[in-house]
């Protein structure tokens, strides 16, 4: 008899993953592919057709390994799909695309705690641009679906809205009232927003043709789904204080117990909405993208001696190395001091940079209590030890869920079960002169 399992569809900005997970939280199988951006349409857009074909093929393989009773979509934020009964009326816009030629008057930061961001990182700007540039297609829209709910809709045919994706720097949500912002009514979008559902809600079962195409059971349930950083938060909800650092393309620090009144728009500080419908103070920067710019396309892990050498010689990477987001958006990144001599030193400098940026964001948030690191940076041998060295007041731990979101997707299905996996306490490693190195880095920001 096959074991019971679920599939988590985890679409990050850079990569997509399908994970087959049993009822005990054990990962039985995984498949990954790049989350590519296409430029063959009217604008840069996500390859939803390629993802769909890959999803169906991978589900066929998973169906032979377990009895799949549910599918849970988890995706990056600031992305929406405009659909009618037949499917997409326009391609799903890439949030890094430039949106020229349309004036956008978003709601105030005081209302949404959603900072004004470049390109399409404010989802409201994307929707306003599409409405102005493609009025005929926009007029056909029946539903505006946040990205996790778009995949749920494709799987089961039921349209829903969900607060964690509405509440992540979209301009569409008021985190204090947990309701739509004034922008939605002003732009005439209210009737396009499907009914709100909790992230854990079962929207329906697979459409018969999807079940037949994949070999999955016809009673396989489709869960509403969740924004990826909020999936990482799920196991920690209920804490009075503490910080979760979700790492990947974006580094997002979420601080429990931090007052929203201290958030500052110019520093790219925002309030996300968690799966319980509560606002959470956050700050982020594009750490994974910046790490790649500094370390190179084929990073080579460094030794601690490389870290020590860069600190001793005072080589600093100064922000920023990504075009979007973060407290220093608009500044051009630079290297001060002797440049890295080889691939190992580039990795060391990229690590030091991301540690210093994270430390800066945590200070700006007033983060306190235990610091849990989720996601891809847990594979970096020096990120956690250096962060622990700079923040002795915050015990640092690594989650063993390398994606940071798989566990959250599983928890939406098994809500009463203990979170699977373990956390590992990270001991500090302190290169000589680290405090002075941090002080010089912060002085250089002035």
| pLDDT of 324 | 82
Over residues 317-344, the pLDDT tens digits come to 999 999 888 999 889 999 999 999 999 9
Q: Domains along the chain?
A: 4-224 (3.30.420.40), 234-445 (3.30.420.40)
Residue 1 vs residue 213, higher pLDDT: 213
What are the residue ranges of helices labelled H in 134-279? Answer: 135-139, 147-156, 163-166, 182-186, 208-214, 228-233
Mean local confidence (pLDDT), 125-148: 98
Q: In whole angstroms, how far apart are CA 89 and each of 84, 119, 123, 190?
A: 6, 21, 17, 18
Q: Which residues contact 324 (CB under 8 A, 6 or more apart)?
A: 96, 117, 118, 119, 121, 286
| pLDDT of 401 | 66
Angle between helices 383-390 and 343-365 (to 10 degrees): 40
Strand stretches in 211-306, DSSP E:
221-223, 226-227, 242-247, 251-256, 269-273, 279-285
* 96 vs 99: CA distance, rounded Å: 9
Judge whether residue 260 has pLDDT over 90.
yes
| pLDDT of 68 | 98
Decide if 434 contacts 389 (C-beta within 8 A).
Answer: yes
Q: For the ranges 37-46, 205-214, 232-241, 292-301, which has the lowest average pLDDT?
A: 232-241
Q: Which residues contact 156 (CB under 8 A, 6 or more apart)?
A: 203, 204, 205, 206, 207, 222
Q: For the ranges 14-28, 173-187, 234-248, 350-364, which has the lowest average pLDDT?
A: 234-248
Examine residue 320 and say whether the peptide bond preceding it is cis (omega within 30 degrees of 0): yes
Q: For the ranges 207-216, 241-250, 303-312, which has the lowest average pLDDT?
A: 241-250
CB atoms under 10 Å from CB of 133, counted, come to 16
Residue 325 vs residue 264, higher pLDDT: 264
* 109 vs 235: CA distance, rounded Å: 29
Pairing outcome for strands 173-174 and 179-180: antiparallel
Q: Which residues contact 5 (CB under 8 A, 6 or more apart)?
A: 20, 21, 22, 23, 28, 62, 65, 66, 67, 68, 69
Over residues 222-248, the pLDDT tens digits come to 999 999 999 989 988 877 789 999 998
3-state secondary structure of 16: strand
What are the residue ranges of helices labelled H in 234-382? Answer: 287-295, 304-313, 343-365
Q: For the ranges 200-214, 287-301, 348-362, 407-421, which has the lowest average pLDDT?
A: 407-421
pLDDT tier, 404 (very low <50, low <70, confident <90, very high otherwise)? low
Mean local confidence (pLDDT), 194-199: 98
| pLDDT of 252 | 93
pLDDT tier, 115 (very low <50, low <70, confident <90, very high otherwise)? very high
Q: What is the pTM of this model?
A: 0.92
- Residue 215: phi and psi, rounded to 5, are 80, 5
Judge whether residue 403 has pLDDT over 70.
no
Decide if 377 contacts 398 (C-beta within 8 A).
Answer: no
> Which helix (DSSP H) or strand (DSSP E) does residue 20 occupy?
strand 15-22
Summary mean pLDDT of the chain:
95
3-state secondary structure of 336: strand
Q: For the ranges 52-61, 238-247, 423-432, which has the lowest average pLDDT?
A: 238-247
């Amino acid at each position: 008899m096959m074991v019971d399992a679920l599939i988590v569809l985890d679409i990050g900005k850079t990569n997509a993953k399908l994970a087959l997970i049993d009822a005990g939280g054990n990962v039985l199988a995984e498949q990954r592919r790049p989350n590519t951006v296409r430029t063959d349409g009217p604008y840069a857009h996500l390859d939803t057709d390629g993802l769909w074909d890959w999803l169906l093929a991978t589900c066929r393989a998973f169906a032979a390994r377990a009895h799949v009773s549910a599918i849970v979509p988890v995706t990056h934020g600031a992305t929406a799909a405009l659909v009618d009964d037949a499917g997409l009326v326009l391609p799903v816009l890439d949030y890094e695309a430039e949106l020229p030629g349309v004036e956008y008057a978003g709601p105030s930061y005081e209302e949404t705690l959603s900072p004004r961001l470049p390109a399409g990182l404010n989802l409201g700007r994307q929707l306003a641009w599409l409405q102005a540039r493609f009025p005929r297609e926009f007029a056909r829209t029946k539903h505006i679906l946040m990205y996790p709910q778009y995949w749920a809709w494709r799987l089961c045919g039921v349209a829903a809205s969900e607060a964690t994706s509405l509440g992540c720097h979209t301009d569409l949500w008021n985190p204090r009232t947990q309701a739509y912002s004034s922008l939605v009514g002003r732009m005439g979008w209210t009737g396009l927003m499907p009914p709100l559902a909790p992230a854990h809600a079962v929207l329906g079962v697979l459409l018969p043709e999807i079940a037949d195409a994949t070999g999955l059971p016809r009673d396989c349930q489709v869960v509403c789904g969740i924004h990826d950083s909020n999936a990482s938060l799920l196991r920690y909800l209920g804490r009075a204080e503490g910080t979760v650092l979700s790492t990947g393309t974006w580094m997002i620090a979420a601080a429990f117990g931090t007052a929203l009144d201290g958030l500052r728009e110019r520093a790219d500080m925002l309030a996300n909405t968690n799966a319980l419908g509560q606002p959470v103070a956050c700050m982020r920067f594009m750490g994974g993208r910046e790490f790649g710019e500094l370390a190179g396309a084929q990073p080579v892990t460094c030794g601690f001696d490389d870290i020590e050498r860069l600190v001793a010689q005072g080589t600093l990477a100064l922000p920023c190395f990504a075009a979007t987001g973060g407290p220093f958006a608009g500044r051009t990144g630079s290297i001060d001091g002797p440049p890295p001599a080889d691939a190992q030193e580039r990795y060391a400098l990229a690590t030091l940079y991301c540690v210093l940026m994270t430390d800066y964001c945590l200070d700006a948030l007033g983060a306190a209590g235990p610091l849990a690191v989720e996601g891809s940076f847990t594979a970096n041998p020096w990120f956690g030890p250096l962060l622990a060295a700079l923040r002795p007041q915050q015990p640092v731990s690594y989650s063993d869920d390398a994606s940071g979101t798989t566990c959250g997707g599983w928890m939406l299905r098994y809500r009463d079960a203990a979170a699977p996996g373990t956390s590992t306490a990270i001991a500090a490693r302190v290169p000589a002169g680290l405090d002075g190195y941090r002080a010089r880095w912060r002085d250089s920001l002035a």
